[in-house]
Amino acid sequence: SAVISQKPSRDICQRGTSLTIQCQVDSQVTMMFWYRQQPGQSLTLIATANQGSEATYESGFVIDKFPISRPNLTFSTLTVSNMSPEDSSIYLCSGRTDEQFFGPGTRLTVL
């Protein structure tokens, strides 16, 4: 399957700031997703990143807090805006062809 890389791998940020996470897939995928994994928890889908149009957000997640871009079939960004300590999580990028696969995640700590 394709390989996903994410940048940064981890970051420590101050409350009130924003962080943009980049996701790069080494081949074209039909769909891209962003997940959040809070400490010790399972994966929760934030949104589906749509190429060239607005992302589709899941219940409880909004564009103002988690703006997402997907300019082409292999790249997407997720921004975590106006961060608070509750945003401390692992953020995972995922791609789908025949199967769904994941990037290594970005571990975010908000102080």
Partner 1 sequence: GQQLNQSPQSMFIQEGEDVSMNCTSSSIFNTWLWYKQDPGEGPVLLIALYKAGELTSNGRLTAQFGITRKDSFLNISASIPSDVGIYFCAGPRMDSSYKLIFGSGTRLLVRP
Residues 6+ positions from 93 with CB-CB distance below 8 Å? 4, 6, 21, 23, 32, 33, 34, 35, 76, 78, 102, 103
Indicate which single residue of 32, 33, 55, 77 sits in contact with partner 1 (rule: CB under 8 A): 33
Binding residues with partner 1: total (CB under 8 A)? 20
Sites for partner 1 among residues 75-94 (CB under 8 A): 92, 94
Scan for tokens 């607005």, then name that residue. Answer: 54
Indicate which single residue of 31, 61, 69, 88 sits in contact with partner 1 (rule: CB under 8 A): 31
Residues 6+ positions from 64 with CB-CB distance below 8 Å? 81
Does the footprint of partner 1 cover residue 96 (CB under 8 A)? yes
- Per CB under 8 A, residues contacting partner 1 are 1, 4, 31, 33, 41-43, 45, 48, 92, 94, 96, 99-105, 107
